[in-house]
Amino acid sequence: MVALSIHEALVKNDVKSLSKQEITKTLEVPPQQSMGDYAFPCFVLAKTLKKAPNQIANDLSANMESGLIERVEAVGPYVNVYLDKTFTGKAIVEEILNEREAYGSPSLGNGEQITIDLSSPNIAKPFSMGHLRSTVIGNALANIMQKCGYTPVKINHLGDWGTQFGKLITAYKQWGEEEKVKAEPIKELLALYIHFHEEAEVNPELEVQGRYWFKQLEDGNQEALALWKWFREVSLVDFQRIYQLLGVEFDSFQGEAFYNDKMEPVVNELEEKHLLSESDGAMVVGLDEFNHPPCLIKKSDGATLYATRDLAAALYRKKEYSFAKALYVVGGEQSLHFKQVFEVLKKMGYTWAADMHHISFGMMLKDGKKMSTRKGKIVLLEEVLKEAIELATENIESRNHELENKEEVAKSVGVGAVIFHDLKNYRQNDIEFSLESMLTFEGETGPYIQYTYARACSILRKGMNQVEIVEQSYQAFQDDKAWTVLSLLMKFEEVITHAYHQFDPSQIAKYTIDLAQAFNKYYATVRILEEDNQLGSRLQLVEATTIVLKEGLRLLGLKAPEKM
Ligand code: ARG
């Protein structure tokens, strides 16, 4: 909107080389409010205009009054822009109230598909904190991509194939009990797997059997396949409970096993393109020119590997979805793996490998140490979510006994706290896990924002019952605190655009914190419901804030209850 005004002013000055989008990108926010609301850096025009930036700033500022702009000032190479608060404020709230949840949508995509490989836990193993991070970050990125005009395709690339299933089948056949597995699938399957390794130390015959059963599985033996299928199914039931709590859905559960019959063509293609070489009996693609170790394609016994499956998956996804981008939301430990996969694709001649991105993230730490995934930690993750919901319930009960849908709200708040705690940090950073800090209703937390939203909704409900005011003045927007809220509302699209380009949901999380804080300051100092000729515009500001807060939370994967 501001860009529109500045664009208009530039055109008036015969500058046509910058599009509105380019202007949005170049606009800066001055370090102090006294220096204006925006600053336009004139170096970007120096080349086309063949003039010094300071000169351009001077020329432009002489003739830049337009639309929302109150006045401009040339300071060095910058044109500082002071917006007309009343006029701009009115335009912003009107735009938000018209567009509702569509407000702030950058038109970057045109429906093109973006595949997002996320969550991807390993079956018969606990859902780790890393998988939680991948799920939450990937889901937010999918929402952001969609908001920007793309069609996200969320793929849960389940770890459902590999030698470990031969071991699991062996263990189950020896010690397994159907009823136990049915009751607590992952816990029991994990116990069997651990038991296998303990026994194998004294009885090496077990390893032989494990390999035998994996071979049976790969060769399509009915008994082996039936067991594998069952392990997969019951594991998914466990995972689904977590996904349901988190409110995350997927477009595909095509895991590693799905690519079993799609790897041979890849290996053949590598062969035809003379990219395969032998190393200790194994087949590899050398990556010396990238300064990386070779990518392992086939083991000496003919078995394919994790990387082979990812190559097959990449080719499949390109064909199936003709993706504009392919994202892999996976922990930083796998960064070499993805570099290798992308490099192999490049060597195969696929230029679209440049559209593939490993969206890596840091670890979840407990007391400064990596949280272990061993022994029954699936219980832990579900417990974390349940405990969060419980704490939220207590908190809500201490505030509002009458709330009708207490359970639902507690779920939104508890789960929201866990999600927000993750997303407010830049993804590459390690996060210290702390249920307490997640669940305070103050500070930079999900519940704080949800509570601010509910408070704003409550003001609106009260405001609806006020006498209708015919005469309406937008003088209310001259107020400093109101203007801070308005200028944040105005920046929503810009924030989303940055989050999109940098694959960084934390920018939206920080923005929602800023907006909630600004709104609370406004609420604390201004009598919003005062019946004067500005009541209408103040209520519009409150409503616009609820729309943007709710949409911001939605992008992050949080619900916004109207009453708390
Ligand atoms: N299952 C793997 C793990 O838990 C993550 C898979 C990530 N996705 C991929 N396409 N490799 O470590």
pLDDT in tens, 180-202: 999 989 889 999 999 999 999 99
* pLDDT at residue 379, rounded to an integer: 47
Q: What is the mean pLDDT of the chain?
A: 92
Name the more confident of 552 and 379: 552
pLDDT band at 440 (very low <50, low <70, confident <90, very high): confident
As a whole number of angstroms, the distance between CA 497 and CA 322 comes to 23
Ligand 1 pocket check for 308: Cβ under 6 Å: no
- Say yes or no: CB of residue 135 within 6 Å of ligand 1: no
Q: How far apart are CA 52 and CA 178, in angstroms?
A: 79
Q: 105: which residues sit within 8 A by CB, 6+ positions away? A: 147, 148, 149, 493, 496
In angstroms, rounded to a whole number, what is the distance separating the alpha carbons of residues 341 and 271? 16
Q: What CATH architecture does domain 399-556 belong to?
A: Orthogonal Bundle (1.10)
- How much distance in Å is there from the Cα of 222 to the middle of ligand 1? 27
Between CA 353 and CA 339 the distance in angstroms is: 10
pLDDT-wise least confident of 299-313, 456-470, 545-559 = 456-470
Domain ranges of the chain: 2-83, 164-245, 399-556
Share of the chain above pLDDT 90, in %: 75
CA of 504 to the centre of ligand 1 (A): 20
- Quote the ligand 1 centre to 310 CA distance (angstroms): 9
Q: What share of the chain is helix, strand, coil (3-state, %, to 5)?
A: 60, 10, 30
Q: What's the complex ipTM?
A: 0.99
In short, whether 255's Cβ falls inside 6 Å of ligand 1 is no
**Strand pairing report for 282-287 and 292-298:** antiparallel
Which DSSP state fits 557?
T
Amino acid at 74: A
Minimum CA distance residue for ligand 1 atom 1? 159
Higher local confidence (pLDDT), 379 or 449: 449
**pLDDT at 113 exceeding the cut of 60:** yes
In whole angstroms, what is the distance from residue 33 CA to residue 86 CA?
Answer: 16
Say what the pLDDT of residue 52 is.
Answer: 94
Pocket test residue of 259, 330, 356 for ligand 1, highest count of atoms within 8 A of CB: 330
> Which pLDDT band holds residue 470 (cuts at 50, 70, 90)?
low
First-last CA distance in the chain: 34
The answer to whether residue 375 scores a pLDDT higher than 90 is no
- DSSP string across 106-164: ----SS-EEEEE---PBTTS---HHHHHHHHHHHHHHHHHHHTT-EEEEE---B--STH
Q: What SS3 class is residue 163?
A: coil
- Report which protein residue has its CA nearest ligand 1's atom 8: 157
Is the CB of 256 within 6 Å of ligand 1? no
Q: Beta strand 356-359 with 325-329: parallel, antiparallel or unpaired? A: parallel
pTM of the model: 0.93
Look up the CATH number of domain 2-83: 3.30.1360.70
User: Position of tokens 């699936």?
Assistant: 378
Mean per-residue pLDDT, 427-454: 88
Q: Which atom of ligand 1 is nearest to the CA of 306?
A: 11
**Mean per-residue pLDDT for 341-353?**
98
327 lines ligand 1 (CB under 6 A): no
Pick the range with the lowest mean pLDDT from 39-53, 62-76, 269-283.
Answer: 62-76
Counting ligand 1 atoms within 8 A of each CB, the residue from 123, 129, 157, 327 with the most, and so the one to mutate, is 157
Task: Please tell me the distance between residue 365's alpha carbon and the centre of ligand 1 in angstroms.
Answer: 20
Contact 326, 314 (CB under 8 A): yes
